[in-house]
Amino acid sequence: MSISPEKPARLILHEVGPRDGLQMESQVVPLEKKEAWLRDLMDSGVDIIQVGSFVHPIKVPQMADTDELFRRLTKDKKSPAILSGLALNEKGLERGLACGVEMFCLGASASETHSMKNTGMDTEESTRRIIGAAKTALSAGKKVQVSVQSAFGCGFEGPISEERVLNMVRAYLEAGLRNISLADTAGHAHPAQVERLFRTVLRLDPAIECACHFHNTYGLGMANMFAAMRAGVTSFETSFAGLGGCPFTKVAAGNVATEDFVHVFQLEDLRKDVNLDKLITVARGVAGHFGRDMQGFVYKTGPIKARNAVKTQA
């Protein structure tokens, strides 16, 4: 039985490990090691790689080298992978424009509490400023994705009204922004909710390019990915080895592991162009660097087909 009743022509893989994965870690990764991981990801065949975020280095020390990473990775770049960066305000946008960001990820939270903790602004002000920044980025010739964070619930506030989420989506649409991600920042989403909300969003405008971002706080991340796919989502944000979590939510937890997601895709004859072995190597390098087991599975077990091949040879 297929994971999706209708296989879309193109499923987009957005690797967010270098940003969402590393931002929670207290141990800062050396610039050269981070660059090596990023270059392997660029060679793996994933479509978009989130290099980092433009936030204050005191608040998120792991992101202090984001500007330098973009400068290094965009110099004489040959990889077709799009390099994305997260900005939460106009200052972040300015930094990103100066160092070569190819796609800006700009988001506001549907949770007032999370919004204040994450940006120091309420939802209304954050949304307004994000829309302004998105328009500036588009006028500069950059790709833009806008998001609704805490779209499926909040660790501080609990359930989030779907109408509140839809109003933010409408505001993006009115501004001409159609690449829209719904992010499960707190990991509260469940499959029926995911499918319902994404179907409702897509009914607002069939031209929306929908993306999804699920945290695995309660072990539902992979199931939610498939629910989003059933609803028509074509862009998926994942993190190497399942690393990650928002430092400004109540219970931080990892993401769906990139190599796990690509593995199940390839079992379904999807995205066979992606080099799964290279993704597994990156995940193992990340786990080795931090000296602990990560949430991902395939980097530890190896892919199913590879294991079967070994048994056959034996």
Contact (CB, 8 A) for 150 and 185: yes
| Neighbouring C-beta atoms of residue 163, cutoff 10 Å | 10
Q: Which residues are catalytic?
A: 246
Q: Angle, nearest 10°, between helix axes 112-119 and 123-139?
A: 60
Closest alpha carbon to 56 in 47, 68, 64, 44:
64
> Beta-strand (E) ranges in the chain?
12-15, 48-53, 82-87, 103-109, 143-149, 179-184, 209-214, 235-238
Structure tokens at 142: 């950059």
φ, ψ of residue 52 to 5 degrees: the values are: 175, -170
Strand partners, 182: 148, 212
Q: Are 177 and 134 in contact (CB under 8 A)?
A: yes
